[in-house]
Structure 1
Amino acid sequence: MSELPKGWASAKIGELASKIGSGATPRGGEKAYTASGIPLLRSLNIHFDGVRDAGLAYVNDDQARKLDNATVSGGDVLLNITGASIGRVTVAPDRFEGARVNQHVCIIRVSEGAEAEFVARFLASPNPQRIIRDENYGVTRQALTKGMIEEFSIALPPLHEQQRIVRKLDTLSDRSAASREHLNAVEVLIERYKVSVLRMAFDGSLSADYRGAQSDQRAVEFELSPSELKKLKLTSHRLSAEKTPYQVPETWRWIALPALGELARGKSKHRPRNDKALFGGPYPFIQTGDVSNSGGRIEEYSSTYSEFGLSQSRLWPTGTLCITIAANIAETGILGFEGCFPDSVVGFIADEEKTSELFVEYFIRTVRVDLEAFAPGVAQKNINLGTLSGVFVPTPPVDEQREIVRRIEAAFGKIDRLATEAEKALKLTDRLDEGILAKAFAGELVTQDPNDEPASALLDRIREARANAPKPKRQPRKPRTMKKKPTLASLMDNWPSEGMTFEELRGQASGAYDQVKEELFELMTCDKPAIRQEFDTTQKTMRLKKVAP
């Protein structure tokens, strides 16, 4: 540890804590939980911003009695010691007085004279978090032992300075949280703004001034023969006035989507669909996920068709509008290259004299949620080619369509730049939080008071109080008639080939929970490890397997 500020002292967590320990999961696991009772705090409840109620489990009085050694007091530091959330830390609020913790959460009860909030903030600061997640520390085995926690070094200021630091951090954290809340709200506002722009685009208000400046605008007018209407499965390619969803400008027409260009489903005739012979060639194969993740412009693909794959499909041209009709309903994207897609995607190729793929793509975005309202002749809720064929598009003259697309993209460009700036600011806020914590524990956040009692005197008092504390009386053990469990080392000869979970190991090995963990850690991290961890994908659990000699 680098040179400490005046009045500070270096200490171990074990010196400051009157209790360090974790609990267990009641026998029966999640099936043993009750709808109400005594809260059981698990790692999913422990977050840097506090204890969250989401997913809170409860145990009955009998189960709680068996976990008396893992009883929470208000003001305890709670630290996640296993798994992906290792290192998350907070202080237990008073409302969780009497709760229990399971084996994934460690209670650190700070002795009188030290601030629990200070200890928690210290453990949450960048350097301790880096150490906890270091490949040679907690993350190697995704667990922190009691011994590791006891030996963790902390830079300890005088008590009054601890309190000043905590108050300052609270103030700055509140400001940071408010900033983060406002920045997160920007995303919602951006979506609302885009919806508003699209709504204005397709009711005519976005281009009202453009129309007013045109003296010779002509509506998109064309006729279709009975045979053409039959081929398109339409009774009329224009929507009558009484059926229009809303009023549009005089030069606009409600025109059926199939009458504005080619509308057809993709093809993937061969079965099974996952036949390896279909894939691995030069032809991009677009699927519903590629469309929904495209943001309206498909520039990437995750799979390709071979010549055989192409032979049972169709190669659509660059600029084709893709519309999903399965999984992600009515998601849209315009092909940035030639490609194939299956029948879960509908393709639209615009007749350039009537419309453009860009104009139609923005319209589908506008009505995606309420698509059936724009398809008056379609009764069913499920979207299919028939649904899209029955959609009528509010269609301005082609030159006005181009102007509408230009204005949409200009408006979206501005708002997307704002979103980018908000995202940068959000990341900056995170870095600022880290910087504030680093300054706090370097003694640079609050002024130091030369009248404060040095931390060394505080540590001396804690040590003296601990030395003079009465030793707890040990209750005589009742003679045990059950067969003694073997030690962990003695289990090695008969270790099952499929391995075992930690809970199964605890059921077979003698010793307390922490003792078994320590012994297991030694077997996993010695020069020639005897045990390794392996994730069982079938059971979705970690298994401990013996390393072959």
Structure 2
Amino acid sequence: MSELPADWAATTLGEVADFVMGQAPPGAACNFDGVGTPFVKAGEFGAERPAIREWTTKPLKMACSTDVLICVVGATCGKLNLGADCAIGRSVAAIRPNPGLEQHYLYALLKPLVLSLRHGATGSAQGVISKDRLAEIDVPLPPLAEQRRIVAKLDALTARTARARADLDRIPALAARYKQAVLSRAFSGELTADWRAAQPALEPISPRSENDIRPKYRLGGAAPDFAPPYAVPETWRWLRLPQLGDMDRGKSRHRPRDDARLFDGPFPFVQTGEVRAADRYLTSYSKTYSAFGLEQSKLWPIGTVCITIAANIAETAILGIEACFPDSVVGFNADAARCLPDYVEYFIRTAKADLEQFAPATAQKNINLEVLGSIRLPVASLHEQAEIVRRIDRAFAEIDRLTAEAAAARRLLDRLDQAVLAKAFRGELVPQDPADEPASVLLDRIRAERAAAPKAKRGRRPALA
């Protein structure tokens, strides 16, 4: 323990607190109907105090509202809550501060120790923090009046950082909404209205001829009714994906699909989760196909737009590598004379929440290859597509920069909280008052009272005055 102010004392938790180690009541005596005594296990720990969701008619070990509760068993051992008048299970211990140790001071003191207590927990199957380990925790003990000043100062500072943290935590959701707004403006023509006005002439995109479209995507007779969901610039056209390029489902024909002969070769094999996780361009994969695997699949070229139709619906990415994928992914290869892969990928991001508004009224409401083949895209000229993609890229880069700065600030707040706590327990957060009773006198009184007190029955409900 570092050097403390003159009126402070160095002690251990075992000298200034008692411990009640939890014990589970009989299962038959527990209920969720509010009958009996509130019963708390580690799973009920909340942000600051436990949630009461269970009761028992046979409480064995009791905590008080003036205790500090700590999880002492399992993956969350070391987690803290302020106390409650309740029975506690074996995963919880109640630390009961003696008079002279302020509950909220102790709670703040233990907060930075959660991870070290967890890592130091013993036990083969699951970690356990023992009573002896709790008793040996170092406690820098200020005068009681100073403890209260420290708690008041910490409350004021943490309230400010909590407000800042809440504001920063909203940034990712705001960023996602802003990106969606950029995409909506892009595919209505609003984003490039100024650019379009400065162009002397823009050539509308003409669809591929029916003969160039695979038979199953040809409209045949009259085109299905399609009511555009919004107006677009006069040089734009509402066109289907098959009118702009080739599309098909991925292939993985061999059964069983987990046959070992299919894997561990040189050919990347990507799945729906990897499409979803890609940051626009897909270059990462966890599995590869062998030559045998490739024979029953297809190697798609770089630039293929991947669209998931199972598990994660309408997630998109553009292949940055040659890769195979299963039939839960649709591949689209753009006709370079008609559209850009990035333009198509960005549009599907825009529309995926309500794809059916871009399809004829007769289309099925679930997504499959046929539905994708019927969806209309608002297609700008090739030059405007490139400008739209450039402006989206620029806007997204700025949004990502601001989001990254917010995340960095969020991490700094966590470090600031730790720094404030460290100052508090070095005696540097609030001024010392010479009129305060020195902590050494307080500690001597605590020791004398503990020595003179009769042996308490541990874990029983304290008598009410």
Q: TM-score range by the shorter chain?
A: over 0.9
2:392 pairs with 1:408: yes
The residue aligned with 2:352 is 368
Q: How far apart in 2 are the matches of 1:473 and 1:370?
A: 65
Q: Which residue of 2 aligns with 1:16?
A: 16
- Contact persistence 1:229–1:237 (CA under 8 A): no
The CA distance in 2 between the partners of 1:293 and 1:337, in whole Å, is 15
Q: Could you tell me which amino acid in structure 1 is paired with residue 55 of structure 2? A: V
Question: 1:215 deviation in Å?
Answer: 1.7
Q: Cα distance, 1:421 vs. partner?
A: 0.6
CA 1:230/1:284 → structure 2, altered by over 3 Å: closer, same or farther?
closer
Spell out, residue by residue over 1:333-371, the C-alpha distance to the aligned partner (whole angstroms, 9 max, x if none).
000010100101000000011111100000000011111
What are the within-5 Å matches in structure 2 for residues 109-508 of structure 1? 109-125=96-112, 128-129=113-114, 131-135=116-120, 138=122, 142-222=127-207, 224-225=209-210, 228=213, 230-235=215-220, 243-471=227-455
In 1: Cα distance, 2:444 partner to 2:299 partner: 80
CA shift at 1:247, angstroms? 1.0
For the residue of structure 2 that corresponds to 1:171, the secondary structure is helix
Matches of 1:89 and 1:226, distance apart in 2 = 70
Q: Return the letter of the residue paired with 2:68.
A: V
Q: Structure 2 CA distance, aligned partners of 1:130 and 1:195? A: 39
Does the CA-based 8 Å contact 1:239-1:254 persist in structure 2?
Answer: no
Say if 1:380 and 1:422 are closer, same or farther in 2 by CA, change over 3 A: same
Which residue of the partner structure matches residue 36 of structure 1?
A: 34
Separation in 2, partners of 1:2, 1:267: 66
Alpha-carbon contact 2:208-2:243 (below 8 Å) kept: no
SS in structure 2 of the partner of residue 368 of structure 1: helix
Which structure is higher in RCO with an 8 Å CA cutoff and minimum separation 6? 2
Supply the AA of the counterpart residue of 2:49.
Answer: V
> Does 1:91 find its partner at 2:87?
no
Out of 39, 47, 55, the position equivalent to 1:59 is: 55
Cα separation, partners in 2 of 1:190 and 1:86, compared to 1, 3 Å: same
2: CA distance between counterparts of 1:147 and 1:138? 12
Q: 1:227 to 1:122 in 2, by over 3 A?
A: closer
Q: Describe the superposition over 1:435-464 as per-residue Cα deviations: whole angstroms up to 9, x where unpaired.
A: 111111111111111221111111121222
Q: Which amino acid aligns with 1:320?
A: T
2:58 counterpart SS class? helix
TM normalised by structure 2 equals: 0.93
Distance 1:204 1:131, change over 3 A: closer
For the residues of structure 2 that align with 1:236 and 1:442, how far apart are their CA atoms?
A: 83
Tell me the CA shift for residue 221 of structure 1.
2.3
The Cα shift of 1:101 comes to: 1.4
Tell me, in whole angstroms, the C-alpha distance in 1 between the residues paired with 2:222 and 2:241. 8
In structure 2, distance between residues paired with 1:80 and 1:473:
22
Question: Cα distance, 1:373 vs. partner?
Answer: 1.5
Distance 1:145 1:244, change over 3 A: same
SS at match of 2:230: coil
- Closer, same or farther in 2 for the Cα pair 1:229/1:173, shift >3 Å? same
Asked if 1:108 is matched to 2:91, the reply is no
Q: Structure 2 vs 1, CA of residues 187 and 392 (structure 1 numbering), >3 Å: closer, same or farther? A: same
For 1:205, give the aligned amino acid. E
C-alpha separation in 1, matches of 2:330 and 2:416: 47
1:82 aligns with 2:82: no
Cα RMSD, aligned residues only: 2.3
For residues 409-456 of structure 1, what are the alpha-carbon distances to aligned partners after superposition, in whole Å with 9 as ceiling and x for unaligned?
000000000011111111111111111111111111111112211111
- Give the TM-score normalised by the residue count of structure 1: 0.79
Give the C-alpha shift of residue 51 in structure 1.
Answer: 1.7
Distance 1:113 1:206, change over 3 A: same
Cα deviation, residue 138, structure 1: 4.8
1:299-354 Cα offsets, whole Å, 9 max, x none, are: 21111000000011001000100000010000000000101001010000000111
**Structure-2 change in CA distance of 1:57 and 1:22 (3 Å):** farther
CA distance in 2 between counterparts of 1:228 and 1:151 reads: 77
User: Conserved in 2, the CA contact under 8 Å of 1:198 and 1:362?
Assistant: yes
Letter in 1 for 2:78: G
Q: Does 1:45 align with 2:44?
A: yes
| 1:85-107 alpha-carbon deviations (Å, 9 max, x no partner) | 22122322xxx33x221111111
Superposed displacement of residue 43, structure 1: 1.4
Tell me how far 1:225 sits from its aligned partner: 3.7
Q: Which amino acid aligns with 2:383?
A: D
Other structure's SS at 1:205 match: coil
SS in 1 for 2:433: coil
Are the aligned partners of 2:250 and 2:331 in contact in 1 as well (CA < 8 Å)? yes
Q: How far apart are the structure 2 equivalents of 1:237 and 1:333?
A: 33
Identity across the alignment (%): 46
* Residues 200-243 of structure 1, C-alpha deviations (whole Å, 9 max, x = no match): 00111001111111121121124634784744242479886x61
Give unmatched runs, 5+ long, in structure 2. 460-465
1:239-276 Cα offsets, whole Å, 9 max, x none, are 86x61111111111100111110010000010000001
Give the drift of 1:117: 0.8
Q: Is the 8 A contact 1:377 1:390 kept in 2?
A: no
CA distance in 1, matches of 2:277, 2:6: 55
Q: Please, which moves more after superposition, 113-122 or 218-227?
A: 218-227
Residue 33 of structure 1 aligns to which amino acid in structure 2? N
Paired with 2:23 and 2:455, the residues of 1 have a C-alpha distance of 25
Aligned residues: 457
CA contact (8 A) 2:281 2:320 kept: yes
2: distance between equivalents of 1:237 and 1:400? Answer: 30
Tell me the residue number matched to 1:4.
4
Instruction: Tell me how far apart the structure 1 counterparts of residues 434 and 72 of structure 2 sit (CA, whole Å).
Output: 37
> How far apart in 2 are the matches of 1:255 and 1:159?
76
